[in-house]
Chain A
């Protein structure tokens, strides 16, 4: 926390800044117009369109919804690293596509674990403890925005991914999940995906390196084999987030071994949703004029040793 500015220093800096009129002090910073996390969520619920689901992961995961918001951060995964960067940027509301506490249930205490009594008190876990403590100390509020964001049409995760690949103009019939691109070898396509998404070790490919690709289907997120089986016949390559290997990658391997020139590129769930949360920041900005909104990428979780 050595970069954190103390309250006294902040007041001094603000006064100096205001006197010199060298920075624009946003209304939220001087407390003239404030918006709470709950108010932002209420606006999102209204703006996102459609019915709000009763069974949804899109809920507050940590912090006090009545907190005035100093800044909003969107991200694919609310890791401690993202939270630290949010605090440094002066933001206190994290809008995340993924869980905060490492599970769909997203409980701030560890799961009971296999064979343990669910009613028993949770085993202390220093990672859970430290994350809770960091959230508390920095008065962060975390809200998950996943189910409803992905229901928008066109799918913002696919649209974001197409944009991140630099291929927004290659939509097929306006559908951002279907691209028709200048012919590219599967190997070069995979390399482009890796560099454009700033992936480290998360990109894995099924197919022959020289297979020529013109049509691409995008399936960001966690996808069922039924979706892969339905889409692969229609395109040369599918770029997906995560799948089950005994299903979709084996299916794709058989398709390739049957002599059909196809490819499957997997990029991981979290990385596949990163660009969609960048779109989310752009979408939130006009909805939340009181506070700065920025996207903070969580990055590719994976790496692999150099061969």
Chain B
């Protein structure tokens, strides 16, 4: 089983056309000819994830996100970096590790595992979704404070951030993933739960909007899990799916985990 064969099976079974022009879903390290000993799915192929995958005997990493800290994995960004790029690259080469990103293809696939995983982890049950794939959930009415506490408990996110009045009565939740985060002023949505989004100078700056809504007594909430927490849960579904496609080698989720902690 080579890395190229694994990728071919993903493409063939995706159920959506493969984007031939994608710069995202490509090999970031290693070659398609490399024999695969095992596969790790993860949100970020962080240095730590790579080391743990190697220790577990897995030499192919399938991350949803970038490896070299920019969307194109453009190495010119980090060529000059004296700290870590050379070390990370040297480690990948020394351990014959293949990295193949699945980003666009995951979001093209139905269902999109990033949404499935995040909804599962947060506890947004399918019975509350307005229609399959709407990512909009009508929950029994609660408060923003109680909802945020429940989200924090379930995800374990230490540094999740919330904007809005904790006492606001809310029920309509829009789930986003990663940076694909709905705007807080979307009609018929009380709370947006997602990964991250620009705070200021975007198309609709939700934090400021929610602050103003709270000042007016309009129930709105904004719960940001962080990009990694938001999109890592679905890499479990991804691992399960790839297990079915590639029974020849072990497949497992190797969590990058939340990069942040919060001061007391």
Q: Mark B205-221, 1 if CB is under 8 A from A, else 0.
A: 11111111101101000
A9 CB–B CB distance under 8 Å: no
B75 to chain A, nearest CB (A): 12
A77 to chain B, nearest CB (A): 6
Among A27-35, A97-105, A173-181, A211-219, the one that faces the other chain is: A97-105
In the complex, A270→B198 CA distance in Å? 11
A305-B152 in contact (CB<8A): yes
A residues in contact with B179, CB < 8 Å: 244, 246
Given A250-B69, A302-B161, A305-B145, verify A102-B204 contact (CB < 8 Å): yes
Between A and B, 14 residue pairs with Cβ closer than 8 Å are: A77-B208, A103-B205, A127-B216, A128-B185, A201-B162, A225-B70, A242-B198, A244-B179, A246-B44, A247-B66, A249-B260, A253-B44, A254-B88, A258-B88
Given A229-B81, A304-B161, verify A253-B259 contact (CB < 8 Å): yes
In the complex, A305→B150 CA distance in Å? 9
B83 CB–A CB distance under 8 Å: yes
Q: Mark B148-173, 1 if CB is under 8 A from A, else 0.
A: 11001000001111110010000000
In the complex, A126→B220 CA distance in Å? 12
A233 CB–B CB distance under 8 Å: yes
Residues of chain B touching chain A, judged by Cβ–Cβ distance below 8 Å, are 44, 46-48, 51, 65-66, 69-71, 77-78, 80-84, 87-88, 145, 148-149, 152, 158-163, 166, 178-179, 183, 185-187, 195-196, 198-213, 215-216, 218, 226-228, 259-264
In the complex, A253→B259 CA distance in Å? 6
A127-B185 in contact (CB<8A): yes
B263-A190 in contact (CB<8A): yes
B83-A304 in contact (CB<8A): no
In the complex, A287→B160 CA distance in Å? 42
Find the B residue at minimum CB distance from A113. Answer: B183
In the complex, A209→B261 CA distance in Å? 9
Given A99-B200, A103-B203, A127-B218, verify A301-B163 contact (CB < 8 Å): yes
Given A204-B262, A205-B261, A226-B77, verify A99-B208 contact (CB < 8 Å): yes
Given A81-B211, A102-B208, A203-B262, verify A126-B218 contact (CB < 8 Å): yes
A residues in contact with B264, CB < 8 Å: 191
Find the B residue at minimum CB distance from A209. Answer: B261
B196-A245 in contact (CB<8A): yes
B46-A254 in contact (CB<8A): yes
B residues in contact with A204, CB < 8 Å: 159, 161, 226, 260-262
A10 to chain B, nearest CB (A): 25
Extra 19 A-B pairs, beta carbons < 8 Å, given A205-B262, A242-B200, A250-B65: A79-B215, A80-B211, A81-B215, A103-B204, A127-B213, A193-B263, A205-B159, A209-B261, A229-B78, A242-B199, A244-B179, A246-B66, A247-B70, A250-B46, A253-B44, A253-B47, A270-B208, A304-B159, A304-B262
Residues of chain A touching chain B, judged by Cβ–Cβ distance below 8 Å, are 57, 77, 79-81, 84, 98-99, 102-105, 110-111, 113, 123, 125-128, 130-131, 187, 190-191, 193-194, 201-206, 209, 222, 225-226, 229, 232-233, 242, 244-255, 257-258, 260, 262, 266, 268-270, 298, 301-307
List of 10 A-B pairs having minimum Cβ-Cβ separation, nearest first: A190-B263, A245-B227, A305-B149, A204-B260, A302-B161, A104-B201, A251-B69, A80-B215, A257-B48, A204-B159
In the complex, A233→B71 CA distance in Å? 22
Find the B residue at minimum CB distance from A106. Answer: B201
B residues in contact with A306, CB < 8 Å: 149
A264 to chain B, nearest CB (A): 9
Output the residue of A84, A194, A255, A262 with the most chain B CB within 10 A: A255
In the complex, A105→B204 CA distance in Å? 9
B47-A257 in contact (CB<8A): yes
A145 to chain B, nearest CB (A): 14
Given A103-B202, A254-B46, verify A191-B162 contact (CB < 8 Å): no
A residues in contact with B203, CB < 8 Å: 103-105, 111
Q: Of A80, A225, A298, which is within 8 A of B77 by CB?
A: A225
A73 to chain B, nearest CB (A): 16
In the complex, A23→B152 CA distance in Å? 53
In the complex, A103→B66 CA distance in Å? 27
B residues in contact with A258, CB < 8 Å: 47, 83-84, 87-88
B209 to chain A, nearest CB (A): 5
